[in-house]
Amino acid sequence: MSIFRRSLLREFTSLALAVCVVLLAISLTTLLVRLLSNAASGALQLEGVLAFLGFIAINYLPIILSLTLFIAVLMTLSRWYNDSEMIVWFSSGVGLVRWIKPVLYFTLPVALVVAALSLGLSPWALRQSAEYKRQLDSRDDVSLLAPGVFRESKHADRVFFIDNMSDTESVVSNVFVQSVQNQQLGVMVAKQGMQKIEKNGDKFVVLENGRRYDGTPGTQNYKVMDFATYAVRIEPYEAKIEAPSPKSMTTPALLKQPTLQNIAELHWRVALPISIVLLTLLAIPLSFVNPRGGRSVNLVSGLLIYMIYSSLLSTFQAWTAQGKIAPEIGLWPVHGMALALLIALFYKRSSVNGFSRLWSSR
């Protein structure tokens, strides 16, 4: 029996690692492309890309681990059916129920990790992401400048562009500034510029050897002025501190403030580790394969059940937050349906494999 368990756990682990690497690579690549696109458009600072990538990855990790374990168990047992190894074990007296214990040995440690992630680490990552974004948004307009990128000020009254920046980032060259004041459009171009901080803390961008154009758009009434030095004041900006969302609140904080949204979030966090256990157990009867029919049918049906289960969890969470479902009920009906399906599938497999093979413990 120890040979059976070691062989099963070894194959579970190797396949789960491969699946997890693939899912992480796909998820991180997709996230990285989206973040880089935001950085290129100016919606996100480039230096924040890796930090946000890490925070979002931590938040996605429970879902990735859930799908990883389900696929690993389903594909491993499907291969054993397809290669007739399951028939050998059934003939040796290993009934279908005997597969529950090694699957739980494999699943429960990961379920505990997911519980730690969903109850503690994922909300922490969301809080850190929001705080980091607030710090980036609090930076002044000059610190956000990057060569070759048009950057709009946070007050939406100026647009900056620089062609090049010195190694010390103290001097920039080929500067373009567009501003709107009293419905008058002002455009300034200068050969170089630098930042200056007065004793009282006021910040200025000092442009040198440039030209300014002032006028009203749509008319020919424009003034042109050459200047040797021109100072543009940088207005301070303080990012708004928003109230934390239920997803980013700590679990004790959710318990202290039992609103409908907070209770729904608590149900979701508890549902993640429970769903992993139920899904991996569902994979045992779902893995049945007719050797003549191939493995595609049960894989498709398994993934369909996974998507339906996940969608129902999200739906019931939304209904709980909206008050359509009593808070004490929450997401438990979805788990109940999954458990009922699990029992029904085991019973169905018992009629296929024979009752004695289902429960045999020799």
Q: Could you read off the pLDDT of 200-252 as tens digits, one per residue?
A: 766 777 888 888 888 776 677 778 888 888 877 766 555 566 667 888 888 99
Per-residue pLDDT band at 90 (split at 50, 70, 90)? low
Given a contact cutoff of 8 angstroms between Cβ atoms, the answer to whether 208 and 190 are in contact is: yes
Residue 50: Cβ-neighbour burial (10 angstroms; 0-12, 13-18, 19+): exposed
Q: 227 or 140: whose pLDDT is higher? A: 227
Q: What is the pLDDT of residue 296?
A: 67
Q: What are the tens digits of pLDDT across the range 27-83?
A: 889 888 888 887 766 666 667 788 888 888 888 899 999 999 999 988 888 877 676
Any bridge partners for residue 254, and if so which?
Answer: none
Instruction: Note the pTM of the prediction, 2 decimals.
Output: 0.72
Q: What are the tens digits of pLDDT across the range 170-187?
A: 677 788 878 777 667 888
Alpha helices, DSSP H, located in the chain? 2-41, 49-82, 85-91, 100-116, 122-137, 251-256, 260-286, 296-322, 332-353, 355-359
Token look-up 């009629």 returns: 351
CA distance 192 to 164: 9
Per-residue pLDDT band at 361 (split at 50, 70, 90)? very low
Q: Is the pLDDT of residue 355 over 50?
A: no
Kindly report the average pLDDT of the chain as a whole number.
79
Token look-up 């609090």 returns: 138
CA distance 256 to 258: 6
Q: Look at residues 309, 138, 326, 156 and name the one whose alpha carbon lies nearest to residue 238.
A: 138
Taking residues 158-174, what's their average pLDDT? 72
